[in-house]
Amino acid sequence: MAPSPCAVCQTNRALILRPKNHQKLCKPCFISVFEAEIHHTITTNNLFHRGERIAIGASGGKDSTVLASVLKTLNERYDYGVELILLSIDEGIKGYRDDSLETVKRNAKQYDMPLTILGYDELYGWTMDQVVEQVGKKGNCTYCGVFRRQALDRGAAKLGVRHVVTGHNADDVAETVLMNLLRGDLPRLSRTTSIVTSTPSIVPSSPETTSHTNIKRSKPLKYAYEKEIVLYAHHKNLDYFSTECLYSPEAFRGSARALIKNLERVRPSAILDVVRSGEDMAKLVPGGNESCGNGCGGHATIVEEEEGGCGSSNGRTSGGEMASMEKQLTQTEVAAEEGLEVEITTAGTKPPNPPDSDAIPLVSGKKGKKLKGPPHGARKQPAKQTMGQCARCGYLSSQEICKACVLLEGLNKNRPKNSIEVSYDNPEESAPTVNSHEIKCTIVTQISEVEKTKGLIYNS
Amino acid sequence: MPGKHVPQDAAAAGQLCRRCRTSEASLVVRTEPLCRDCFIRYVSTKAVKRMESFRVRHSTPDQTRKLLLPMSFGVSSVTLLHILDYQLKNQTAKTGRTGFQLLVVHIDTSAVEKNAPDPSFMSKLQARFKDHSYATVPLKDVFETPSSYSNDQNIEVDPTPTSDQLSTFLATLPSATALADVLSTLRTRLLVAYARQHGCEAILWGDSTTRLAEKTLSETAKGRGFALPWSIADGQTPAGIPSNYPLRDLLKKELTSHANFVNPPLTEVVYAPEPTGPVSTSSKTTTIDDLMKAYFESVEENYPSIVANVVRTATKLDAAKFEEGDERCSLCGMPVPDGKFGIHGWGGDQHDVQGVSPGEQTEALCYGCTRSVPKGTTLPS
């Protein structure tokens, strides 16, 4: 059989079968088609504007490495006039980040971009390894995802950057669409399909610093297939670190991921088709982008902030997350059938946290939500979600306290006793009261610092 | 029923029925052990509850409401017929008349599909469930019926028999997924046309919860997310005939158990093709529908509420707004917003980069249909 010529230039021998549409291309044409498509995505969506400083969320993996490389190429070729910098988050997973951060450092040199690395321990007082030690491997992706989302925004704010680009590709978006259908989360389905997520309406709380609540996020690789990203990295000889997160993905994401891979095998366009469906369905979500939070109307939301897991793992499933949701749904069904829910909501229970109260108790899980929510029988439209700021850290949140602070409180509650003893050791710190929410997050850091000092004392 | 063989669920063994508290439970339904009779009542109550608007009191004696029941001879549509047959008998016994009449329609695809059921199943059904109208319509009629929502008004008279046209058209489809997709689109279109022709007020689809969940994900995977509410929700559709899914609260496995429990078993009149073994993901014959079917069969096993939640969630989507004059897909008939036909002209399409202009699409097809019917294929008119 004669070798087929490239479908684009018609002269070179075709060496690449494009995963997206099975077009036969030569290497230079594949590279230029791939870059042209990203350029197309950037220009048609007006992602960038001249003079903008843009932080690339860099993990050292294939997606963010390709993103950095392509953006550098395109910025020079088409003169976008943007300033690109690298921002890395160190989740504190031993053996996972050590090597990938080295890759990012090399990338910084190769692409001549400044690099900032921020650790979870600096931001939250907890490394992921410590979190896993505490909560186990099930559900830790929730922590990682919630922490990371804020981490990039906080890091960007620190650098005075208002736009963060991430390496989310078409496979990731398609996976998220299916995952959110599986776990019944329409609001998030609609949010995660948009190429830009930003919250320009939120005014910075303190004038002297850039607030991390108005950072723009975009995904220039939203329509790029994972397989093509790998091919591009391969043919451009890009230096990336290929490893998967050591902790297994949640069942829903793993399940969705496996489905996406199978769909791609049966029909290559399916990934793009799911993305398209996701975009179209986002327009059909009642109440626009916002809806009620977890537990209402019988469909459950597992995590509050976007993009729960990290999506960088394969289809291993633990099933724990599915089982717990199954249990929750079954209970809701039983309750609904027996009319229990209505009784609870009409019982005239006082909201657990009246607005005048200083103390902001945690409303975790669906029980608290139920109490506040309107009676189930009467609800037609999902309750409108109002975006506000977390009372503790100021991060954008639909709840009074953002998910990260909720998770942190859970973690810190179970911290070994000695962290409580800290306040005894330092009476001049006037015992961090539960009421001083604004400094809660920084206290965590302080405590861990004091712990370090204590450790030194003990060692000496 | 002593001495009678009743299929037994091991999980229910030795437990008392949670509802009647007298008989021994025969199976466990969503954590509740039930006996045979209570289970049958459970199934039919769930379905009849969904038929609320077709009760006798909502009809007038001089005008009977006609409803079309699409019949595939699968367990779901046969079960629906069984339940409605029983409901109608009850209505007659209680009030002397019925709230509606059933028109049972089977679309015969045996000319173009290998595994299609033998249309002779119809006579078995007719013998068992009398008092209803039955019809078998060959799929090729889809191109003979003046389609009420087709765009092309200037239909030329073609001397070729439509059955040949149909097979030629189907043979050009690029994959098993495309074929399955087009066949189901054509089937729906023909049923809708038939319902309109015969003055039916609504179509009663037999889809179970599980089937609706499969559909939710497979329509999404086929790029038909924009039309999802019209294929899974109760209510009006762009075709002008409302859809109803009376079995939407019942799982596929529950319908299968039910078919075995009723006396005589429904399995006698159900067409059950030989199971083809586990779904292979590499096979050329595997379709997106097959993948989703296998997926939800496994989810249903351990997480039935998650299956139900998928459907409940997707049903909450608002249907897109459309008007009579809006442009429509010439294959599936769904409204295409702003006439944006084909796979071009959205964020995920970069074809203009490669010099293919969006105007090249010869047929006015929606995104999903364009994926199944390649460019340049002429639809039989």
Is A454's pLDDT higher than 60? no
Asked if B231 reaches chain A (Cβ–Cβ under 8 Å), the answer is no
Percent of chain B with pLDDT over 70: 87
* CB–CB contacts below 8 A, A to B: 155
Is B179's pLDDT higher than 80? yes
Q: Do B310 and A263 touch (CB under 8 A)?
A: no
Is A375's pLDDT higher than 50? no
Give chain A positions within 8 Å (CB) of B229. Answer: 284
Alpha-carbon gap: A428 to the closest alpha carbon of chain B (Å): 53
Is A394's pLDDT higher than 80? no
B22 in a structural domain: no
Nearest CA to A274 among B258, B259, B224?
B224
Give the mean model confidence (pLDDT) for residues B80-104.
94
Q: Among partner residues A44, A177, A319, which is closest to B220 by beta-carbon distance? A: A177
Query: What stretches of B235-378 adopt beta strand conformation (E)?
Result: 243-244
Is A449's pLDDT higher than 50? no
Alpha-carbon gap: A131 to the closest alpha carbon of chain B (Å): 28
Give chain B positions within 8 Å (CB) of A286. Answer: 316-318
Asked if B312 reaches chain A (Cβ–Cβ under 8 Å), the answer is yes
Which CB contacts under 8 angstroms, 24+ apart, belong to A225-230?
A225/A19, A225/A20, A225/A169, A225/A170, A225/A171, A225/A271, A225/A272, A226/A63, A226/A169, A226/A170, A226/A171, A226/A172, A227/A19, A228/A18, A228/A19, A228/A20, A228/A34, A229/A62, A229/A63, A229/A66, A229/A169, A230/A62
User: Would you state the pLDDT for residue A296?
Assistant: 31
Give chain B positions within 8 Å (CB) of A325. Answer: 303, 305-306, 309
User: Would you state the pLDDT for residue B159?
Assistant: 47
What is the number of domains present in chain B?
Answer: 1
B positions 96-155 inside 8 Å of A (CB) = none
B296 in a structural domain: yes
User: Would you state the pLDDT for residue A327?
Assistant: 87
Q: Which of A166-170, A254-258, A294-298, B260-264 has the lowest mean pLDDT?
A: A294-298
Is A142's pLDDT higher than 80? no
User: Would you state the pLDDT for residue A334?
Assistant: 79
Give the mean model confidence (pLDDT) for residues A178-189.
91
Q: What is the pLDDT of residues A78-93, one digit of tens each?
A: 999 999 999 998 888 8
The upper half-sphere exposure of residue B285, i.e. CA atoms within 13 Å in the direction of its Cβ, equals 7
Q: What is the pLDDT of residues B23-73, one digit of tens each?
A: 999 999 988 899 999 999 999 999 999 998 888 887 777 778 999 999 999
- How far apart CA A196 and CA A212 sit, in angstroms, is 16
User: Would you state the pLDDT for residue B376?
Assistant: 73
Q: Do B216 and A181 touch (CB under 8 A)?
A: yes
Give chain B positions within 8 Å (CB) of A8. Answer: 354
- Say which CATH number the domain at B143 has: 3.40.50.620
Straight-line distance from the first to the last Cα atom of chain A, in angstroms, rounded to the nearest whole number: 76
Where do we find the tokens 């409204």? B335
Q: Do B318 and A286 touch (CB under 8 A)?
A: yes
Higher confidence at residue A98 or residue A183? A183
Element (H, E) at A97: helix A97-110
Give chain A positions within 8 Å (CB) of B312. Answer: 184, 298-299
B146 in a structural domain: yes
pLDDT band at A63 (very low <50, low <70, confident <90, very high): very high
pLDDT band at B230 (very low <50, low <70, confident <90, very high): very high
Is A346's pLDDT higher than 60? no
pLDDT band at B354 (very low <50, low <70, confident <90, very high): very low
Looking at this predicted complex, what is its ipTM?
0.90
Domain that holds residue B216: 54-322
Give chain B positions within 8 Å (CB) of A178. Answer: 217, 220-221
Asked if B305 reaches chain A (Cβ–Cβ under 8 Å), the answer is yes
Asked if B304 reaches chain A (Cβ–Cβ under 8 Å), the answer is yes
> Residues near B303 by Cβ (< 8 Å), separated by ≥ 6?
A322, A323, A325, A326
Mutate to test the interface with A, among B282, B317, B366 (most CBs of A within 10 A): B317
Nearest CA to A63 among A195, A221, A218?
A221
Give chain B positions within 8 Å (CB) of A280. Answer: 225-226
Alpha-carbon gap: B97 to the closest alpha carbon of chain A (Å): 32
Q: Do A280 and B226 touch (CB under 8 A)?
A: yes
Is A419's pLDDT higher than 50? no
- How far apart CA A297 and CA A335 sit, in angstroms, is 12
Where do we find the tokens 């939203």? A222
Q: Do B314 and A278 touch (CB under 8 A)?
A: no
- How far apart CA A235 and CA A229 sit, in angstroms, is 10
User: Would you state the pLDDT for residue A387?
Assistant: 63
Mutate to test the interface with B, among A181, A279, A291 (most CBs of B within 10 A): A181
User: Would you state the pLDDT for residue A229?
Assistant: 97
Give the mean model confidence (pLDDT) for residues A399-416.
81
User: Would you state the pLDDT for residue A340?
Assistant: 56
Is B365's pLDDT higher than 70? yes
Give the mean model confidence (pLDDT) for residues A40-55.
94
Round the average pLDDT of chain A to a whole number and report it: 74
B positions 332-351 inside 8 Å of A (CB) = 346-348, 350
For A323, the closest chain B residue by CA position comes to B303
Q: Among partner residues B175, B225, B318, which is closest to A278 by beta-carbon distance? A: B225
Q: Which of A380-394, B86-100, B245-259 has the lowest mean pLDDT?
A: A380-394
Q: Do A170 and B317 touch (CB under 8 A)?
A: no
User: Would you state the pLDDT for residue B146?
Assistant: 53
- One-character DSSP codes across A249-312: PPHHHHHHHHHHHHHHHH-TTHHHHHHHHHHHHHTTSTTTT----TTGGG-----SSS--S---
The upper half-sphere exposure of residue B170, i.e. CA atoms within 13 Å in the direction of its Cβ, equals 24
Nearest CA to B136 among B148, B147, B122, B149?
B122
For A328, the closest chain B residue by CA position comes to B305
Q: Do A270 and B353 touch (CB under 8 A)?
A: no
Q: What is the pLDDT of residues A253-297, one digit of tens each?
A: 888 999 999 999 999 999 999 999 999 999 999 875 433 333 333
Q: Token pair for residue A154?
A: 């906080």
Higher confidence at residue A77 or residue A450? A77
Q: Which of A180-194, B219-233, B275-289, B291-305 has the lowest mean pLDDT?
A: B275-289
Q: Which of A149-163, A245-259, A279-293, B143-157 has the lowest mean pLDDT?
A: B143-157
Is B178's pLDDT higher than 90? yes
B191 in a structural domain: yes
pLDDT band at B351 (very low <50, low <70, confident <90, very high): low
Domains of chain A (ranges; CATH) run 45-298 (3.40.50.620), 325-352+362-406 (no CATH), 415-459 (no CATH)
Q: Among partner residues A184, A267, A280, which is closest to B309 by beta-carbon distance? A: A184
> Which range among A185-189, A364-368, B143-147 has the greatest average pLDDT?
A185-189
- What 8-state DSSP symbol labels residue A439? T
Is A356's pLDDT higher than 60? no
Q: Among partner residues A44, A277, A286, which is closest to B224 by beta-carbon distance? A: A277
Alpha-carbon gap: A458 to the closest alpha carbon of chain B (Å): 51
Asked if B165 reaches chain A (Cβ–Cβ under 8 Å), the answer is no
Where do we find the tokens 């495309």? B178
- How far apart CA A45 and CA A39 sit, in angstroms, is 10
Nearest CA to B47 among B5, B6, B8, B85?
B85
Give chain A positions within 8 Å (CB) of B303. Answer: 322-323, 325-326
B29 in a structural domain: no
B337 in a structural domain: no
Higher confidence at residue A244 or residue A238? A238
Is B362's pLDDT higher than 80? no
Q: Among partner residues A195, A259, A276, which is closest to B223 by beta-carbon distance? A: A276
User: Would you state the pLDDT for residue A213?
Assistant: 58
Give the mean model confidence (pLDDT) for residues A91-98.
79
Q: Do B221 and A279 touch (CB under 8 A)?
A: no
Q: Do B306 and A41 touch (CB under 8 A)?
A: no
Asked if B177 reaches chain A (Cβ–Cβ under 8 Å), the answer is yes
Percent of chain A with pLDDT over 90: 36
Is A204's pLDDT higher than 70? no
Give chain B positions within 8 Å (CB) of A290. Answer: none
Give chain A positions within 8 Å (CB) of B226. Answer: 277, 280-281, 284
User: Would you state the pLDDT for residue A304?
Assistant: 32
Residue A57 near residue A28 (C-beta atoms within 8 A): no
Q: Do A259 and B217 touch (CB under 8 A)?
A: yes
B379 in a structural domain: no
Q: Among partner residues B347, B352, B371, which is closest to A195 by beta-carbon distance? A: B347
User: Would you state the pLDDT for residue B185?
Assistant: 95
B311 in a structural domain: yes
Straight-line distance from the first to the last Cα atom of chain B, in angstroms, rounded to the nearest whole number: 56
pLDDT band at A376 (very low <50, low <70, confident <90, very high): very low
Give chain B positions within 8 Å (CB) of A185. Answer: 313
- How far apart CA A117 and CA A179 sit, in angstroms, is 30
Angle at A416 between CA A414 and CA A417, to 5 degrees: 105
